[in-house]
Amino acid sequence: MSNQSGQELEGKVAIITGGGGFIGRAITLAYLEAGADVVICGRRQPSEAIAANGKQAYFIAADIRDPQQSQQVIDATLERYKRLDILVNNAGGTPGVDAATAPAALTEKIIALNLTAPLVMSQQAYQAMQKSQSEGAIVNIASVAGARPAPGTMAYGAAKAGLLSATKSLAMEWGPQVRVNGIIVGLVNNPAAAEHYGGEEGYRNIAAMLPLGRMAEPQDIADAVLYLSSKQSAYVSGATLEVDGGGEVPVFLHLAKS
């Protein structure tokens, strides 16, 4: 982002759910570097403080699947900073689970974390943005699992697809005061990536299949999130930004060449 965008976020207050996690940390640092005050929440406190640009993210312990705890995050933010401008619904995830044998309780937990919690927290944030009379921005972090078949992640994919649909509905209902946008995150490089994709060779082969020749880095996601909450995207709402390196090339094309 440009220095101009950083100046635009001076005095802004952002909440980032799961802001201490792998991608969440990159988003948190991007906002701090852009001059915003940042509140992060999660069930576990980060092992070390997240700080940049002379600012430190303020951590609040909360399980956002509980509406009372997510409201407490909103209330604590207003008490500390007197306003709320940005919400990034970043917290999410799923274990791999077979659709035929997935316990109902696990399915409910996955949907609660990846769909219900972001919707409820968006409602709570919207009310806070109205009180502080700020021109707000909400960014929902979705996944390619919500846009194409994803074996082993049935509930997760359904939840993320629902979040993308809700993004457009909320943008239509809450404009012009609050803009709501979504990001479809593609394959992201992380410390466990090589193991997840069958070792270093498997990781390299999959990365090479992507049009840009690599998986995303957390900073790639953070830059996109920052754009969607800056004045540079002032006329962007209800949009879905695909941060996936150009998409996944159909496997049959590679098989046909082998």
* Catalytic residue IDs: 156
Closest C-alpha to 210, from 254, 156, 241: 254
Asked if residue 42 lies in contact with residue 19, where contact means CB atoms within 8 angstroms, the answer is yes
| Residue 194 identity (one-letter amino acid) | A
Torsion (CA) 113, 136, 217, 154 in degrees, nearest 10: 30
Closest C-alpha to 193, from 176, 210, 211, 179: 210
Q: How far is CA 214 from the centre of its chain?
A: 20
- Distance, CA of 24 to CA of 193 (rounded, Å): 17
- Contacts from 190-195 at CB under 8 Å and sequence distance 24+? 190/22, 190/218, 191/22
Burial class (CB in 10 A: 0-12, 13-18, 19+), 172: exposed
The strand pairing partners of 60, in sequence order, are 41
- Distance, CA of 99 to CA of 169 (rounded, Å): 28
Asked if residue 234 lies in contact with residue 177, where contact means CB atoms within 8 angstroms, the answer is no
Q: Give CA separation, 230 vs 11, 224, 251, 258, in Å.
A: 13, 10, 37, 45
Helices and strands: H and E segment counts in the chain: 10, 9
